[in-house]
């Protein structure tokens, strides 16, 4: 077994590998960029080596620097994590040549599966189901149309070197086939330097289901069941679960056996994933093989009780895989939500900056520990006070739950999301909460088009469902009452000016457009500063009992005998008197006041926000790459104004109307904050 390994990655996956290595008694070496010098993975590792500047092309993607770091620290092996160099054939081969073990598949396996056209031919030879299509590169748009007609619409036009949704188009007719071919080829050439394009049948109502495989250096390969990954946004997975609520045992067995056949065909050694597209009739076809550890591997660890990182290390060290196929368990139901630094209410634009608060839900499962299951686990590479840099992907954490069945897993995930506190940046937690509550998701009736179908026009606050929105009103009244009770106990209060409690309140739910809602509330409590209270709203009673402290963001307790977790904060940047309540993805900003104060509040004029239509503002934090206009220039509606880059994502800003540029207020190379002014029109 290795004595020391280097992790050629960052963030949560680097921390994940360190956890297993530590349990196995293996020392670890972290590598980091200048942007990550205070990062959690650097602090957890036994040693750390600086690679270079923040951009990944100058640090995490420089093989020479990583090899040099391994040699300098005496690391015998390199674990690449996922992303960066994890599926780089040349890097795997270079490690072998330098006498360093690559903790992953051999370079020839990576090469065989890295090219979509070659891998499909190889799958055909291994008797693996493949989607009907034309697997040779296509030269012209007219040829693409003829091939598409032969296969039958709809068809999928794909770049051979594509990935992550790039170089992919769906065509339903001749016109779309011709245009899709041209744009797909151009995108592939620009993104990958390889403009080869092929066409295959588009499976309707498709599900994205993948099979986890493990293979050792002695030719033994097994499959570890499947993962359901159909909940995707722009081809990026959002929620993953194991097992799938859709496929039968017979389909599972058939998919697993084909995945094993493909892995054996390429002499696969390590953990890998064979991805399939599955039709509504349970017909399944090979998509691609990911020759690395997947982001969503924890859900497989939960249902099988196996540590996949440990097995990657053991296989790389030459150990035999002791498990037989019959030994693989399928215990309970696991789900994973990817918690990303993005604002779902602003079209999921990246949100970078400092994590002012980070408080994870109570964990009962942990990385590298497959004994403690049926609980909650958080995999993260950040910590409170840390920075979410603009140079890398947007993941803050992965939230994993394990339950006896699917309904229990959903309930655990919803409650865990309620207890996940993130402040300083925006996160996609409200969106995750809405997905988990959607009837079609709960029933398991979904496919890869689910998010596009239900949230195609964007995601808005009113899209977040709630079983009983008045509970948030009751909780605001409860917290305000308990706060007043504490204030009433303070000594030295002047007679006639002391705090009066009262039993009648009005909760004013504030609205950004001034359409505030007033809720009349009556309240009786136990007299304790913390404890029970009965709140009545519109004829319904809420018996709330909580022993959380008044300054806790997360409040835990029961309402009418049912357990709950919610988040309550006092004050916003605009109004220090506001209470902000969050539960099941729903957010309420409220004033809790006396009936007389509520009457006066109704008389307050609404101050409309200023008209900012003559400005172009930054919709997200990021780097201003270019400004395409200058003072005095006449600009037409829809014309490009500026380009901002953050988290591997380029965002082009366009003029909303015709006008003349008055001034440019930011320079290329400048780091922008949300709503920072870039251009002003006359």
CA end-to-end span of the chain:
69
Question: For the chain, which residues score pLDDT lower than 70?
Answer: 162-166, 191, 527, 529, 648
Rounded distance, CA 648 to CA 650, Å?
7
Same domain for 189 and 302?
A: no
Q: Are residues 481 and 559 in the same domain?
A: yes
Q: What angle do CA 52, 379, 568 make, to 5 degrees?
A: 110
The whole-number pLDDT of residue 648 equals: 67
Q: How does DSSP assign 170-231, residue by residue?
A: EESSHHHHHHHHHHHHHHHHHHHS---EEEEEPPSS-EEEEEEEEE-TTS-EEEEEEEEEEE
Helix 308-316 to helix 297-304 angle (10° resolution) is 100
CATH number of the domain bearing residue 196 = 3.30.1490.20
CATH number at residue 538: 3.30.700.30
Which residues neighbour 515 within 8 Å (Cβ) at sequence distance 6 or greater?
none
Within a domain: residue 113?
no
Domain extent at residue 634? 615-681
Among residues 603, 636, 662, which one ends one of the domains? 603
Query: What CATH number should be reported for the domain holding residue 644?
Result: 2.40.50.100
Shared domain for 251 and 379, answered yes or no, is: yes
Q: Could you tell me if residue 642 is inside a domain?
A: yes
Q: Which of 543, 573, 603 is the last residue of a domain?
A: 603
Same domain, 507 and 552: yes
Query: Residue 163's pLDDT is what?
Result: 63
Point out which residues pair with 354 in neighbouring strands.
387
Domain membership flag for residue 119: no
Q: Is 511 inside a domain boundary?
A: yes
- Segment 185-221, tens digit of pLDDT: 888 887 677 888 889 888 888 999 999 999 999 999 9
Q: What is the pLDDT of residue 461?
A: 86
Does residue 168 belong to any structural domain of this protein? yes
Residues 312, 441, single domain; the answer is yes
The rounded distance, in Å, linking the Cα atoms of 58 and 61 is: 7
Is residue 126, in this structure, part of any structural domain at all? Answer: no
| pLDDT tens per residue, range 275-288 | 999 998 899 999 99
Task: Find out whether the peptide bond into 154 is cis, omega within 30 degrees of 0.
Answer: yes
Beta-bridge partners for 468: none
Q: Give the CATH number for residue 351.
A: 3.30.470.20
> Could you tell me if 563 and 419 lie in one domain?
no
Query: Under a CB-based contact definition with an 8 Å cutoff, are residues 69 and 4 in contact?
Result: no
Beta bridge partners, 198, equal: 158
Percentages helix, strand, coil for the chain (3-state, rounded to 5) are 30, 35, 40
Residues that are catalytic: 288
- Verify that 185 and 222 share a domain, yes or no: no
Structure tokens at 41: 């993975």
Give the pLDDT confidence score for residue 271 in this predicted structure.
97
- Same structural domain for residues 86 and 195? no
CB 210 within 8 A of CB 286: no
* CATH number, domain with residue 37: 3.40.50.20
Q: Do 317 and 252 have their domain in common?
A: yes
Written as six digits, the tokens of 571 are 């004050």
- Identify the domain boundary among 58, 87, 103: 103
Angle at 107 between CA 104 and CA 112, to 5 degrees: 110
Please give the helix or strand (H or E) that residue 471 lies within, else none: helix 470-488
Same domain, 556 and 623: no
- Does residue 110 lie within any of the structural domains? no
Q: In this structure, what token pair is assigned to residue 572?
A: 């916003």
Determine contact, residues 660/679, Cβ cutoff 8 Å.
no
Task: Answer whether 663's CB lies under 8 Å from 680's CB.
Answer: yes
Per the structure, the count of domains in the chain is 5
Asked if residue 608 belongs to a domain, the reply is no
Examine the domain organization and report whether 430 and 479 are in the same domain: no
**291, 1 contact by CB (below 8 A):** no
The rounded distance, in Å, linking the Cα atoms of 65 and 29 is: 13
Do 304 and 380 share a domain, yes or no? yes
* DSSP code for 366: B
The Cα 42–Cα 50 span in angstroms is 10
In this prediction, residue 397 carries a pLDDT of: 96
CA 243 to chain centre: 20
> How confident is the model at residue 315, as a pLDDT?
98
């Amino acid at each position: 077994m290795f004595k020391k390994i280097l992790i050629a990655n960052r963030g949560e996956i680097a921390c994940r590998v360190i956890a297993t290595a530590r349990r196995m008694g293996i020392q670890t070496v972290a590598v980091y960029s200048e942007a990550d010098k205070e990062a959690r993975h650097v602090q957890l590792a036994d040693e750390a080596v600086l690679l270079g500047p923040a951009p990944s092309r100058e640090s995490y993607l420089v093989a020479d620097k990583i090899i040099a770091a391994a040699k300098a620290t005496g690391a015998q092996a390199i674990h690449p994590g996922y992303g960066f160099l994890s599926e780089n054939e040349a890097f795997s081969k270079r490690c072998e040549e330098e006498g360093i073990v690559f903790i992953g598949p051999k370079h020839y396996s990576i090469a065989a599966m890295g090219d979509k056209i070659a891998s499909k031919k190889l799958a055909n030879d291994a008797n693996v189901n493949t989607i009907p299509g034309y697997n040779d590169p296509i030269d012209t748009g007219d040829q693409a149309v003829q091939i598409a007609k032969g296969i039958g619409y709809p068809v999928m036009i794909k770049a051979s070197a594509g990935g992550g949704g790039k170089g992919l188009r769906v065509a339903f007719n001749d016109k779309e086939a011709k245009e899709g071919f041209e744009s797909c080829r151009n995108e592939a050439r620009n993104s990958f330097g390889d403009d080869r394009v092929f066409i295959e049948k588009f499976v309707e109502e498709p599900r994205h289901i993948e099979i986890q495989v493990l293979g050792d250096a002695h030719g033994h390969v097994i499959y570890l069941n499947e993962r359901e990954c159909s909940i995707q946004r722009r081809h990026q997975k959002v929620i993953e679960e194991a097992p799938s609520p859709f496929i039968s045992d017979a389909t599972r067995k058939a998919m697993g056996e084909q995945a094993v056949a493909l892995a054996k065909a390429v002499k696969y050694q390590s953990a890998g994933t064979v991805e399939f597209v599955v039709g509504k009739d349970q017909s399944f076809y090979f998509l691609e093989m990911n020759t690395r550890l997947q982001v969503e591997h924890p859900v497989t660890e939960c249902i099988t009780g196996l540590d996949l990182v440990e097995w990657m290390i053991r296989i790389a060290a030459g150990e035999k895989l002791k498990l037989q196929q019959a030994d693989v368990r399928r215990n309970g139901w696991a789900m994973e939500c990817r918690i990303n630094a993005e604002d779902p209410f602003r079209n999921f634009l990246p949100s970078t900056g400092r994590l002012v608060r980070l408080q994870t839900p109570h964990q009962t499962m942990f990385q590298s520990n497959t004994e403690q299951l049926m609980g909650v686990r958080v995999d993260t590479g950040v910590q409170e006070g840390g920075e979410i840099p603009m140079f890398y992907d947007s993941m803050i954490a992965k939230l994993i739950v394990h339950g006896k069945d699917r309904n229990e897993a959903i309930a655990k995930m919803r409650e865990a999301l309620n207890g996940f506190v993130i402040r300083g940046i925006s996160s996609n937690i409200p969106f995750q909460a809405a997905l988990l509550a959607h009837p079609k998701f709960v029933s398991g009736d979904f496919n890869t088009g689910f998010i596009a179908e239900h949230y195609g026009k964007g995601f808005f606050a009113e899209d977040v469902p709630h079983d009983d929105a008045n509970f948030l009103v009751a909780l605001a009244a409860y917290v305000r009452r308990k706060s007043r009770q504490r204030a009433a106990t303070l000594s030295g209060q002047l007679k006639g000016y002391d705090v009066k409690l009262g039993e009648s309140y009005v909760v004013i739910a504030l609205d950004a457009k001034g359409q505030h809602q007033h809720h009349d509330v009556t309240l009786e409590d136990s007299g304790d500063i913390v404890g029970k209270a009965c709140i009545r709203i519109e004829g319904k009673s809420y018996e709330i009992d909580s022993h959380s402290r008044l300054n806790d963001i997360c409040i835990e307790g029961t309402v009418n005998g049912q357990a709950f977790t919610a988040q309550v904060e006092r004050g916003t940047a605009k109004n220090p008197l506001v209470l902000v309540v969050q539960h099941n993805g729903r957010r309420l900003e409220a004033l809790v006041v006396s009936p007389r104060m509520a009457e006066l509040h109704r008389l307050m004029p609404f101050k409309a926000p200023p008209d900012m239509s003559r400005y172009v503002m930054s919709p997200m934090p990021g780097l201003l790459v270019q400004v395409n206009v200058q003072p005095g220039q006449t600009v037409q509606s829809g014309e490009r104004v500026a380009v901002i880059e953050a988290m591997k994502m380029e965002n082009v800003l366009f003029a909303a109307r015709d006008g003349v540029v008055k001034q440019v207020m930011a320079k290329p190379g400048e780091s922008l904050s949300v709503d920072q002014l870039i251009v002003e029109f006359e």
